[in-house]
A and B are shown apart, each in its own frame.
Chain A
Amino acid sequence: MTSSMAFFSSTTPTNLPSFSPSSKTHFPINPLLSLKPQRQVFGSVRATENGSGAAVVVEEKKDSTEEGNGAPVKADVAELGAKFEDPKWVSGTWDLKQFQKDGATDWDAVIDAEVKRRKWLEDNPESSNNDFPVVFDTSIIPWWAWMKRFHLPEAELLNGRAAMVGFFMAYFVDSLTGVGLVDQMGNFFCKTLLFVAVAGVLLIRKNEDIDNLKKLIDETTFYDKQWQATWQDEKKE
């Protein structure tokens, strides 16, 4: 009965550090390497909670008096990278005055700076601090800056594809049926083909998109099916 749920055995060597009361030391993300096991004192481990297995409760008493967090931690501070720092990052947001180019704000540079910041934080997650809140909102960058940088190149690509497909399809249909471009547009079947071509160019941009779209469609209804499963029983009876 307890088998499936007993994920955490009561003898898990979890080296859970108590937090240093000293000033802000930067704990490494993986303190298991630096903290020696013998610093932990395991209190009574209650196994009776394992009755039906769901929760394992481990009570730990920390000995924070003896061999405090002094020596080992100081060594770690040197190892660990610093917080994100940038002269243009002021009070939790980008200081737009420092991004001026020819009298106007260089939005591309702001976007680049934010990209670097996010990449840094993804690799080195930081503690969120109330004294230094991050208040940057990407919506301060105007819509046309986003358009110019991200939408327009993609739009050029897609329009190019659509134009190539369109030209060759028009030529192909004309050579097979003799119907010219203007007359093709009046035909329902051709209009459908045109619609399919445009939708295809828009939706399928990479090879993986075909699978992704199929998975997306399944995903939208999967939860509904899980809920309706109990009603299928009833239909059989």
Chain B
Amino acid sequence: MASITLKSFIGLRQSSLENHHSTITLPSKPLQYLRHNIIASKSSPKITGRNLRVAVIGGGPAGGAAAETLAKGGVETILIERKMDNAKPCGGAIPLCMVGEFDLPLDIIDRRVTKMKMISPSNVAVDIGRTLKPHEYIGMVRREVLDAYLRDRARDAGATIVNGLFVKMDKPFDKYAPYVIHYNAYDGKAGSTGTKMTMEVDAIIGADGANSRVAKSIDAGDYEYAIAFQERIKIPDDKMVYYENLAEMYVGDDVSPDFYGWVFPKCDHVAVGTGTVTHKPDIKKFQLATRLRARDKIQGGKIIRVEAHPIPEHPRPRRLSNRVALVGDAAGYVTKCSGEGIYFAAKSGRMCAEAIVAGSENGTRMVDESDLRNYLQKWDKTYWPTYKVLDILQKVFYRSNPAREAFVEMCADEYVQKMTFDSYLYKTVVPGNPLDDLKLAVNTIGSLVRANALRNEMAKI
């Protein structure tokens, strides 16, 4: 390939020109970190008389996991959550590894999905899940149950859980001066505006989701987001049997131009939804199309709830500023292609907390920005391949109807199923057998060529 000179990337904020050569990152190589020396803050002062104080804003999976790890590490933690019984709209799928890594009790999981059906624009339906072992599944959870469990565990570890709404933060003027956070404490009283409170903390973890106020306070920048729209439908019991442990994915221009429509089984009903980044005003039209495609299987159903929420498409330009770090949806850690965010939220919360605990030597020293950068570096290094691969998949296979037809055709192949599930359930990009990979590449190209050829013929009609 002829050499490509990339324009030097100014960054996604207005900043002055820097003399910075962007390395051309190939998909298989991890990100190159340019001459970044991490100096553990051995030079930060020891704190006398108290432990390090950290505020975690937001009590979802990211906040709960972070607060628990901090509290266990000896840091004085306060978790501020605005609505304790929040039943968040969400797909609700968690990979198998999350159950093990976060010691989740099995009764949190409402359903174990072991089969998936992918349905192409021309209704070719492919069953995937043949390669799953008996103990492998995708867990479907209710967010209110999961979030509450993680918060309770954080409280049991020693964190203080406060029902309140974060308003703003005062940034410190000195290097080791504390941040002052302002929040409205609700104290369990619904409907009131709460009492204004302030608190001094040494570091802040922003886990307050896609509309993060912490992110706004540190000028983290914006991200593109998809809108996910979903209707919860209670279908008759005989139809529910079909969805006992099966989830469906519908692809097509009618359902979404850049995402997919789904039918996910929940505790006693199904969630039918779709999403889009580029055509948000048409979301209702896409939802109707999704319901039409699933019509025969959800006939007789009653809509019990309608909900929507944003899904970040990529991380914010700035995920960290001084001693404030963002995790979870606030940082934008949702994968492309599948739109998965719960596991990454919890994991990033934990990783950030671990970095703070390590940098502060279990709460005895002050932390500074370099300690928090450790978390970013570890995160990027561990999960970059996963994110990049899913990005490539989305770019290649969600492009157009022919690409989606090819995608569904490819999913019929057992090797593809095994690779997909292994990487989804365990969150590692497994290299796989090179010969099989080659065969897969050839088959993929073949499928794409055939589907595109058919599409060109369609244009002639």
Residues of A whose CB lies within 8 Å of any CB of B are: 1, 4-5, 7-8, 14, 16, 18-21, 24, 27, 29-31, 48, 51-60, 62, 64, 111-112, 114-119, 121-122, 125-130, 133-139, 141, 143, 146, 149-150, 217, 219, 221, 223-236
Contact = CB atoms under 8 A, between A and B. Distances in A.
Given A54-B209, A115-B458, A119-B461, A229 B292 contact: no
A4 B211 contact: yes
A128 B249 CA distance: 11
A54 B309 contact: yes
A232 B15 contact: yes
Interface string B284-297: 11001100111111
B291 to A, nearest CB: 8
Interface of B: 4, 6, 9, 11-13, 15, 18, 20, 22, 24-25, 31, 33-34, 36, 82-83, 88-89, 119, 121-125, 165, 190-191, 209-211, 213, 221, 223, 227, 231, 242, 250, 252-254, 280, 284-285, 288-289, 292-310, 314-321, 336, 369, 373, 376, 380, 384, 387-388, 391, 395, 401, 405, 409, 412, 446-447, 449-451, 453-458, 461
B299 A117 contact: no
A192 to B, nearest CB: 10
Nearest to B242: A130
A129 B296 contact: yes
Given A5-B210, A7-B227, A30-B288, 9 more contacts: A19-B295, A27-B295, A59-B304, A60-B306, A125-B254, A128-B293, A139-B409, A230-B315, A230-B316
Nearest to A117: B122
B308 A134 contact: no
Given A7-B308, A59-B304, A233-B318, A121 B295 contact: no
A227 B31 CA distance: 9
B189 to A, nearest CB: 13
Contacts of B24: 221
A48 B369 CA distance: 37
A7 B454 CA distance: 38
Nearest to B222: A4
A8 B308 CA distance: 8
Contacts of A60: 303-304, 306
Contacts of B373: 234
Contacts of A224: 25, 31, 388
Nearest to A121: B122
A207 B288 CA distance: 38
A221 B315 contact: no
A58 B230 CA distance: 12
A223 B296 contact: no
A52 B211 contact: yes
Contacts of A58: 305-306
Nearest to A129: B296
Contacts of A57: 89, 305-307
Contact of A146 (B13, B321, B453): B453
A48 B450 contact: no
B454 A16 contact: no
Contacts of A137: 124, 409, 412
A60 B300 CA distance: 16
B25 A230 contact: no
A125 B289 contact: yes
Contacts of B213: 1
B440 to A, nearest CB: 14
A35 to B, nearest CB: 12
B89 A122 contact: no
A227 B299 contact: no
A58 B280 CA distance: 19
A5 to B, nearest CB: 6
A135 B298 CA distance: 22
A194 B47 CA distance: 70
Contact of A5 (B292, B299, B310, B447): B310
Contacts of A64: 302
A8 B221 CA distance: 24
Contacts of A18: 301-303
A134 B125 contact: yes
A121 B123 contact: yes
Contacts of A146: 449-450, 453
A67 B319 CA distance: 55
A126 B123 CA distance: 8
Contact of A138 (B82, B253, B289, B409): B409
Given A115-B454, A221-B6, A128 B300 contact: no
B330 to A, nearest CB: 12
Contacts of A111: 454, 457
A226 B36 contact: no
A233 B220 CA distance: 11
Those 4 A-B pairs whose CB atoms lie nearest each other, nearest first: A229-B317, A127-B295, A226-B314, A115-B457
Contacts of A8: 306, 308
Contacts of B293: 125-128
A21 B315 contact: no
Nearest to B12: A229
A62 to B, nearest CB: 6
Contacts of A112: 457
Contacts of B210: 5, 54
Interface centre among A7, A14, A114, A149 (most CB of B within 10 A): A7
A221 B4 CA distance: 12
Contacts of A135: 124-125
A225 B4 contact: no
B253 A221 contact: no
Contacts of A217: 4
A119 B336 CA distance: 29
Given A62-B302, A118-B122, A235 B25 contact: no
Given A48-B191, A227-B314, A219 B395 contact: yes
A16 B300 CA distance: 13
Contacts of B450: 138-139, 141, 146
B458 A130 contact: no
